[in-house]
A and B are shown apart, each in its own frame.
Chain A
Amino acid sequence: MSELAVSVVGMSKVYPVPFSRRAVVAVRELNLAIASGEVYGLLGPNGSGKSTTLKMILGLVPPSRGRAEIFGRASSDVASRESVGFLPESPYFPKYLTGTETLRFYGKLCGLRGERLRARVGELLELVGLASAADRRLSGYSKGMLQRIGLAQALVNEPRLLVLDEPTAGVDPAGSRDIRDLILRLKERGTTVLLSSHLLEQVQEVCDRVGILANGVLVREGRVEELLAVENQTELILENAPAELLMQIAALASTSGARLVEQRKPQTTLERLFLEATQPEDSSKRRTSNAEHRRSD
């Protein structure tokens, strides 16, 4: 078995209610094992315990019971965060800093300095597509740009584990697509990604495995294709098929005891339509080809 990036064993979080015997259970007896290089999606409705789980994994909130480890080190150990990058939901960065200054600050916290820091900051600004806005104050950044600078600060120490809490919240479809493309590029480089989201289509597209939290309990977990597959059905997509062929297939299916459930034209997604309509031709072609490339994977 490959090295575990995240290991959570019997972890619970209980918040006592002041002046009452009652307590709120945010997370109950959670067990997670995320392999190195995997992209894992934590799903769940609002208040299901996703953010609390991420904070406990990062050591920002102590669990009431159980333990969490990052690459074999207890997450309560500050040193475990050397290999972690985190983007919280709707992060705030000082508006008076420029993109470069923001990344320099986070780089210094990770022990970078001098030429190494300068080079890393430039590299990250390129990576998230903010090189042209590097010297602009964050007060002039759009929501999508702020999210990208947030992603860049999370990557400043070249983390082996990237934790993203609702990474595309409030970002338009193009920005959202950019973030997804970035996650896929990081996956290719071997970075483990743990993300929480309630945008299911997005999770489906990038995650290898997902876990679904409801009321603090992990109710489902598994590989995306296994969880989504309808076991007794098969999907065929034909190109340039004449009507006679379709009729022959339908007849063949009925003679063999199978039932043709549905025959329809495949549809593009609303997102792809949006991107094709709003992006320059070159980039929309590139995005389409990226999407097709991923589908063929």
Chain B
Amino acid sequence: MQQQQHRAFSFRRVAAIASITLTELTRLRVFYVLLIFALVLIGSSMFMARMTFQQEFQVLKDISLGAMSLFTSILAIVGTARLLPQDVDDRAVYTILAKPVPRFEYIAGKLGGVLSLLAISMLVMTALFCAVLFARQQAVLAATAHQMTGLPPQELSDALANVRASTFNSSLLPAILLVYIKAAIVASLTLFISTFATSTIFTIVVAVFVYFIGHLQATARAFWLSEHGGGWASRTFLAVVALLFPDLQLFDGVDHLVAGTAIPMALFVKTAALGCFYVVIYLLLATAVFSGKEL
């Protein structure tokens, strides 16, 4: 066979590994269980106690975004933690790395598979969430129109517009994207941990630990700065802590969503860029550790 010039990086090789990783992950029962959980949670929000429609939509969004964030994070940790140890244990890694595949591509392909799974999960959950929201919106619109029968058309029109504005607003998409980026950070962090962890359980425990620390980091940072001031030593220390424990609270756009205010575009872009930076850093760290690993 005519030998091709070897490419230091090939997107096709990464895509092939990502594709097989995704196929492997979709066969995990946990994936379906999590989806069912999400379905149940979002569905149950339809049967909440009587509230005004504004409150109802706010709670529905709050619960749904919270559930999406929680389930995608769990999926990211559980799905990623076993990928590398399993490949090493059953020697599948040898057949892949014995081909002209650099270790960076192998790691990137594995992460690509997890990110694809998270994207599919997010799409399904978003579609479900939007369907529930739309159904409730239609029900409230019908009820409002029924209650306001006989009132001036302008008043009815304002009331209906008010209902519509309370359901779908401009914060919805950015908030959902931030949930995805947060899950991507958690997945890449878990992949990094799994490159040096001694067992899958250890990886999961450490990733969950970092996940919780990541949510408390902002509060702890504010407390630290108030106690120790903002000197360079403090700032360096906080930068290291921020690298080890990403501030995951930044990626919760629920507050804006619930309040009905738009997430400023500059803030969204900055937060998304920070998320991508974390993903790339953890990917590079994972590659560095995995490259020195004895297989």
| Chain A interface residues (CB < 8 Å from chain B) | 15, 55, 58, 60-62, 78-79, 81-94, 96-97, 105-106, 108-111, 113, 120, 150, 153-154, 157-158, 163
Report Cα–Cα, A284/B101, bound state, in Å: 41
Do A86 and B98 touch across chains, with their CB atoms under 8 A apart?
Answer: yes
Do B16 and A91 touch across chains, with their CB atoms under 8 A apart?
Answer: no
Q: Nearest Cβ distance between residue A206 and chain B, in whole angstroms?
A: 21
Q: Nearest Cβ distance between residue A14 and chain B, in whole angstroms?
A: 11
Offer 6 A-B interface pairs, CB within 8 angstroms, sorted by A: A84-B98, A85-B98, A91-B95, A92-B90, A97-B20, A120-B1
Indicate if B228 sits at the interface (CB-CB under 8 A).
no
**What residue of chain B has the Cβ atom nearest to residue A15's Cβ?**
B294
Report Cα–Cα, A86/B100, bound state, in Å: 11
Report Cα–Cα, A96/B28, bound state, in Å: 12
- Report B3-55 residues with CB < 8 Å from chain A CB: 3-4, 6-8, 10, 12-13, 16-17, 19-20, 23-24, 27
Q: Nearest Cβ distance between residue A36 and chain B, in whole angstroms?
A: 15
Do B101 and A78 touch across chains, with their CB atoms under 8 A apart?
Answer: yes
Query: Chain B interface mostly helix, strand, loop or mixed?
Result: loop
Report Cα–Cα, A94/B19, bound state, in Å: 13
Do B12 and A113 touch across chains, with their CB atoms under 8 A apart?
Answer: yes
Report Cα–Cα, A166/B93, bound state, in Å: 17
Q: Nearest Cβ distance between residue A97 and chain B, in whole angstroms?
A: 8
Indicate if B235 sits at the interface (CB-CB under 8 A).
no
Q: Nearest Cβ distance between residue A51 and chain B, in whole angstroms?
A: 10
Indicate if B96 sits at the interface (CB-CB under 8 A).
yes
Known contacts A60-B94, A82-B4, A109-B99; can you find 18 more A-B pairs with CB under 8 A? A78-B102, A79-B6, A81-B98, A81-B100, A83-B3, A87-B95, A88-B91, A91-B91, A92-B90, A93-B95, A105-B16, A106-B95, A109-B16, A109-B101, A110-B99, A111-B10, A150-B95, A154-B95
Indicate if B92 sits at the interface (CB-CB under 8 A).
yes
Do A106 and B99 touch across chains, with their CB atoms under 8 A apart?
Answer: yes
List of 9 A-B pairs having minimum Cβ-Cβ separation, nearest first = A92-B90, A86-B98, A158-B1, A79-B6, A108-B16, A109-B99, A88-B94, A81-B100, A82-B100
**A163 contacts which chain B residues (CB < 8 A)?**
98
Do B27 and A96 touch across chains, with their CB atoms under 8 A apart?
Answer: yes
Partner of B6, one of A82, A89, A158: A82
Indicate if B173 sits at the interface (CB-CB under 8 A).
no
Indicate if B97 sits at the interface (CB-CB under 8 A).
yes
Partner of B96, one of A83, A109, A111, A154: A109
**What residue of chain B has the Cβ atom nearest to residue A157's Cβ?**
B1
Partner of B13, one of A79, A82, A84, A108: A108
**B99 contacts which chain A residues (CB < 8 A)?**
81, 106, 109-110, 157
Q: Nearest Cβ distance between residue A281 and chain B, in whole angstroms?
A: 37
Partner of B92, one of A58, A81, A92: A92
Report Cα–Cα, A55/B27, bound state, in Å: 31
Q: Of residues B19, B95, B294, which shows the largest number of chain A Cβ atoms within 10 Å of its Cβ?
A: B95
**What residue of chain B has the Cβ atom nearest to residue A13's Cβ?**
B294
Q: Of residues B91, B97, B100, B294, which shows the largest number of chain A Cβ atoms within 10 Å of its Cβ?
A: B100
Report Cα–Cα, A92/B16, bound state, in Å: 17
Do B97 and A88 touch across chains, with their CB atoms under 8 A apart?
Answer: no
Known contacts: A82-B3, A108-B13. The answer to whether A153 contacts B95 by CB under 8 A is yes
**A86 contacts which chain B residues (CB < 8 A)?**
94-95, 98
Q: Of residues A78, A93, A109, which shows the largest number of chain B Cβ atoms within 10 Å of its Cβ?
A: A109
Q: Nearest Cβ distance between residue B32 and chain A, in whole angstroms?
A: 15
Do A94 and B4 touch across chains, with their CB atoms under 8 A apart?
Answer: no
Do A94 and B20 touch across chains, with their CB atoms under 8 A apart?
Answer: yes
Indicate if B233 sits at the interface (CB-CB under 8 A).
no
Indicate if B265 sits at the interface (CB-CB under 8 A).
no
Q: Nearest Cβ distance between residue A53 and chain B, in whole angstroms?
A: 14
**A105 contacts which chain B residues (CB < 8 A)?**
16, 19-20
Do A96 and B97 touch across chains, with their CB atoms under 8 A apart?
Answer: no
Report Cα–Cα, A110/B19, bound state, in Å: 15
Report Cα–Cα, A92/B6, bound state, in Å: 26
Q: Nearest Cβ distance between residue B170 and chain A, in whole angstroms?
A: 41
Q: Nearest Cβ distance between residue A173 and chain B, in whole angstroms?
A: 25
Q: Nearest Cβ distance between residue A239 and chain B, in whole angstroms?
A: 45
Do A110 and B100 touch across chains, with their CB atoms under 8 A apart?
Answer: yes
Indicate if B295 sits at the interface (CB-CB under 8 A).
yes
**B91 contacts which chain A residues (CB < 8 A)?**
88-92
**What residue of chain A has the Cβ atom nearest to residue B104's Cβ?**
A78
Known contacts: A93-B92, A105-B16, A157-B1. The answer to whether A58 contacts B100 by CB under 8 A is no
Partner of B98, one of A58, A62, A79, A97: A58
Q: Of residues A58, A92, A120, which shows the largest number of chain B Cβ atoms within 10 Å of its Cβ?
A: A92
